[in-house]
């Protein structure tokens, strides 16, 4: 689904910035990589602005945010996802003529599914986690898993407290329940991103529809976990994202 999320982000941007013309998706194989291209003939980007395109909160100019909206995080998260998958995301663009975003991922023909490996918890020891969860049972369960594996846990029982704590503490991760009082998970995430917090925020949700997943990513979350939370799933996800913290 991480590959799909990159495509969703890129296609969403292409459609948003193309008021007319076309958006094309091309897929091809190149030796040991699969290549995806998202091509549009939208507003484009000036060449001297391309270097910062994948930086968090980047907008080509202030009018872009006012006119088209968005968090400014979609491309930054897409770049992170490609890196985590062992690939690369690049862009070429010309002002008023359009853009082409290309990402490639390792491809191994006929590879058999590998057994699920356990997380390397040595990478997680001492990492600080803010656990935003209003259900006391879920909170205690997740806290036990995390602390047992060497992580340092702080908790918040609603989205507003999570926002306040993220503003004054240095966390390596935030685990964010989606349905909380005061501020929902997506609302809290948007506000946390707006204060400049750039570490991974991972949703914890029982809702698994595509629209729910898209809402997570659109708010600025990096990934999501499906409830009920399973120990290895939780630890593997944190291990994966620890490479960018």
pTM of the complete model beyond 0.75: no
- Whether the upstream peptide bond of residue 158 has omega within 30° of 0, thus cis, is no
Is the distance from CB of 202 to CB of 219 less than 8 angstroms?
Answer: no
pLDDT tens digits, one per residue of 148-163: 999 999 999 999 999 9
Cβ count within 10 A of residue 171: 22
pLDDT band at 12; cut points 50, 70, 90: confident
Helix (H) or strand (E) holding 77, with range, is: helix 74-84
Tokens of 104: 């490639």
Range 183-203 average pLDDT: 95
pLDDT at residue 65 above 50? no
> Strands of 33-40's sheet, edge to edge?
23-30, 33-40, 98-106, 88-94
> Strands of 223-226's sheet, edge to edge?
152-156, 128-132, 173-177, 201-205, 223-226
**pLDDT, greater one: 166 or 205:** 166
What domains, with CATH codes, occur in the chain? 2-106 (3.30.565.10), 121-242 (3.40.50.2300)
Which pLDDT belongs to residue 107? 80
Which pLDDT belongs to residue 166? 97
| 62 Cβ contact partners less than 8 Å away, ≥ 6 residues apart | none
Tokens of 84: 């985590």
Which pLDDT belongs to residue 144? 93
Rg (CA), the chain: 19
Which pLDDT belongs to residue 116? 54
Range 16-26 average pLDDT: 84
Is the distance from CB of 64 to CB of 46 less than 8 angstroms?
Answer: no
């Amino acid at each position: 689904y991480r590959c799909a999320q990159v495509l969703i982000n890129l296609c969403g941007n292409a459609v948003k910035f193309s008021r007319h013309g076309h958006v094309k998706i091309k897929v091809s194989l190149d030796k040991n990589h699969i290549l995806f291209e998202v091509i549009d003939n939208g507003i484009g980007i000036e060449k001297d602005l391309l270097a910062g395109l994948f930086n968090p909160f980047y907008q080509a100019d202030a009018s872009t945010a006012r006119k088209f909206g968005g968090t400014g995080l979609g491309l930054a998260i897409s770049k992170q996802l490609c890196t985590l998958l062992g690939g690369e995301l690049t862009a070429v663009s010309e002002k008023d003529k359009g853009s082409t975003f290309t990402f490639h991922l390792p491809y191994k023909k006929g590879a058999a599914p590998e057994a699920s490996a356990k997380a390397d918890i040595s990478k997680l020891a001492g990492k600080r986690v803010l656990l935003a969860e209003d259900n006391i049972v879920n909170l205690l369960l997740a806290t036990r898993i995390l602390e047992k594996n060497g992580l340092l846990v702080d908790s918040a029982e609603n989205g507003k407290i999570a926002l306040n704590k993220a503003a004054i503490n240095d966390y390596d991760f935030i685990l964010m329940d989606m349905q909380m009082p005061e501020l929902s998970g997506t609302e809290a995430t948007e506000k946390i991103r707006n204060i400049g917090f750039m570490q991974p925020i991972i949703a914890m949700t029982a809702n698994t529809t595509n629209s729910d997943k898209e809402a997570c990513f659109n708010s600025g979350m990096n990934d999501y976990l499906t409830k009920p939370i399973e120990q290895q799933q939780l630890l593997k996800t944190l291990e994966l994202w620890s490479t960018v913290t």
